[in-house]
Each structure stands twice: as C-alpha cells, then as structure tokens.
C-alpha cells in the first residue's frame, strides 16, 4: 500500500511537471507587436518570420500616440514587446516616456550606420521628403539645384502644395530646418514659405502630387513612397497617369542632402519576450525582409545591396541624403517646430 501511494504521488508530480514544461513554450514562442504601420504586406512578412522561427507575431495596430498611451498606462502590466512606428519623432516620443529598453546587438550595429539607430530604437525603412514638379509646366533648370530654403523665394508665390501643419512628416522636416538654421531664421523662412502656398493645406501627400499633375500647383512636397505607390497603379489608373506626369527633385544636393525620415522599431522595457523581440528586429534587417518591405511599401532599404523594384529605381536611390544629424533631433524639436508653423499661419 505504501509503495502504491509512493508511485501515485510520483506520477502526480511528474504529470504536473510535464504540464508546466509544455505550457511554457506556448507563452514564450510569441511576441506582441504594437505597430502604426497598416500594410497587409507587412503582416505577410511577419508570417514568414513565424515560419522560420516558430515565433508567433500577435499584431496590435493603431495610431502611434494611441499605442504609446496604452503602453505607458499599462506600465509593468503591459504585454507589448515591440513598438514599430512611422517617423523618428514618434519613436523619440516613446523613448522620452521611458518605454524602451536598450538594444544590444552586434548584428544590428554592423548593419546600420549610427545616424539610423540609437540605443533604444533602429531604422527599418527610409523615406525621403522631396519636391515634385511637372516638366510641362516648369523647366528642370529652375528646380535642379533647389533647396528647402529656396521655397520661401517670392518666385514660388501661390505655387506650393503641402499637407497641414499637424502632419508629423512636415513637423520633422521643419525640426531639421530648426536644427540647421535656428529659430529666428526658420520663423522668417516659414512666414514667406506659407505665403507661397497655392491653397490652404489639405489632403494627404498624394493629393499634393495630383495638384502638380493637373497644373494647379507648380511644386508639391511629399514622401517618395506615395509617388511610387501612385506609379504602381495600386491607387487606380487616374493616379497612375497623374504620377507619370510629374518628376521628383531631391533638394539640397549641393550641401547637406535631402531630408530623410524612417519607420523604426524598439523593444519595450516591460517586454515579456525580449529575446524573441530581438530576433524579430534582426530579421527585419535581413536582405529578404528588406526586399519584401521595400518592394511592397515602396520605401528605401536601410541596408546595402538590397534589390528593389522598378518603381523605387525610377525615383532614384543614388541621391545625397542628409545624414549629418541624429534622427532623434526630429523628436526633440518637433514641438518647437509645430509652434512656429502655427505662428507663421500654417493651418
């Protein structure tokens, strides 16, 4: 009888041990990705990561401020592992709230230049904020050596199409000008720049390109990937035809280079799955992942020797980038930039 009880208790302990053992991998073989990116192609890429590693990616999608607020309020109870956002300013905002942990990876450091990473988040893709013109309306010589600073010139009166001041891409652009030119000069520039708007800012980047294609505006300011998206036909034949009428120009090629922004990611301080999260971010910097992202969302890769499609190639990848300041500067100076933009009359 004693032996039977002994075996019974041993078997019970073993069963409990097995249940605990096999339940843990289910929890640990996953990550919870919080992302403001909304591309279906991204989600397909995450499935590839799961197939390669067995690590499931649970996706929580939303606007950057909403995601940031949720993670901050949940604190130590947060199950979020990775935060993947568009715009360096949005990443800096999360960093300022102490949401990230430091990323320690030789793989990442060897692949990315210092201007595309910091201790807490790294670039996954690049985008350039450039000018677009209609060669039937403007001679290329008039814009060939143009800079962002030139856009305040009276020659562009009632000519420029751009989004509203509350757009984070515009705030980052003005933040970079603040860093280079200082508050006083930037405000003077802003007042003249706003006077050159062809209409009260409205619509997305594609809307600005459409104004140039129709001849209603001489110049549009927009991110490169919107143009490629239009050229691809994914936004319909009308937008494809409009994009074919315009050409991109990369400003400031004679000095610091064209304004560059990113989509980037970081591992969260309270992440329950930090090792899996690092594997995920390292995966996003592989040639396979970079090719997939860039060829579907039409952004520029952040690593070398990535083969991209004809739409990105048509825009041109061999331009001088502004890589002289840290991307964190966009976040540090966005609030100041927005105040000056509004003060100058940018709606």
Q: What is the pLDDT of residues 291-337, one digit of tens each?
A: 999 999 999 999 998 988 889 988 888 899 999 999 999 999 999 99
Among 309, 267, 245, 14, which Cα is nearest to 118's? 267
Question: 180-226, pLDDT tens digit by residue?
Answer: 999 999 999 999 999 999 999 999 999 999 999 999 999 999 999 99
Closest residue by Cα to residue 345 from 197, 230, 131? 197
Joined tokens for residue 165: 């001041």
* Residue from 345, 11, 336 nearest 175 by CA: 336
Q: Is the pLDDT of residue 16 over 50?
A: no
Res 20: pLDDT? 41
Res. 244 pLDDT band, cuts 50 70 90: very high
Q: Which helix (H) or strand (E) holds 133?
A: strand 122-133
Residue 300 is predicted with a pLDDT of 96
Question: CA–CA separation, 69 vs 97, rounded Å?
Answer: 10
Burial-class residue 23 by CB neighbours within 10 Å (0-12, 13-18, 19+): exposed
Task: Look over the chain and give the mean of its residue pLDDT values, rounded to a whole number.
Answer: 92
Radius of gyration of the chain (CA): 24
Quote the pLDDT of residue 4: 54
Count other Cβ atoms within 10 Å, centred on residue 138.
16
- Provide the pLDDT for residue 335: 96
For the chain, the first-to-last Cα distance in angstroms comes to: 86
pLDDT digits (tens, 9 = 90+) for 133-179: 999 999 999 999 999 999 999 999 999 999 999 999 999 999 999 99
Domains and CATH numbers, the chain: 2-126+262-307 (3.40.190.10), 128-259+319-343 (3.40.190.10)
Token code pair at residue 29: 């073989």
């Amino acid at each position: 009888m004693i032996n039977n009880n002994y075996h019974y208790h041993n078997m019970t302990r073993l069963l409990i041990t097995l249940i605990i053992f096999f339940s843990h991998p289910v929890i640990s073989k996953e990550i919870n990705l919080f992302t403001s990116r909304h591309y279906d192609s991204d989600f397909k890429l995450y499935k590839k990561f799961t197939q390669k590693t067995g690590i499931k990616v649970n996706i929580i999608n939303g606007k950057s401020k909403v995601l940031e607020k949720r993670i901050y309020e949940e604190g130590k109870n947060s199950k979020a592992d990775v935060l993947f956002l568009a715009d360096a300013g949005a990443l800096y905002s999360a960093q300022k709230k102490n949401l990230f942990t430091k990323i320690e990876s030789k793989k990442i450091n060897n692949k990315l230049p210092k201007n595309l990473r910091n201790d807490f988040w790294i670039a996954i893709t690049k985008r350039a904020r450039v000018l677009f013109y209609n060669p039937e309306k403007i001679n290329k010589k008039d814009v060939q050596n143009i800079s962002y600073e030139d856009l305040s010139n009276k020659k562009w009166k009632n000519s420029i199409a751009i989004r509203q001041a509350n757009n984070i891409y515009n705030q980052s652009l003005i933040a970079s000008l603040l860093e280079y030119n200082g508050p006083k000069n930037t405000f003077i520039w802003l007042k003249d720049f706003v006077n050159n708007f062809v209409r009260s800012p409205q619509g997305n980047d594609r809307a600005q390109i459409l104004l140039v294609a129709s001849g209603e505006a001489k110049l549009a300011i927009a991110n490169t990937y919107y143009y490629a998206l239009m050229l691809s036909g994914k936004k319909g034949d009308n937008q494809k035809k409009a994009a074919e009428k315009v050409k991109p120009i990369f400003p400031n090629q004679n000095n610091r280079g064209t304004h560059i922004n990113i989509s980037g990611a970081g591992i969260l301080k309270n992440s329950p799955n930090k090792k899996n999260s690092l594997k995920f971010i390292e995966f996003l910097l592989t040639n396979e992942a970079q090719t997939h992202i860039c060829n579907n969302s039409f952004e520029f890769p952040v690593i070398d020797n990535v083969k991209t499609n004809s739409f990105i190639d048509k825009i041109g990848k061999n331009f001088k980038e502004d890589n002289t300041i840290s991307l964190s500067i966009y976040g540090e100076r966005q609030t100041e930039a927005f105040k000056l933009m509004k003060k100058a009359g940018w709606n």
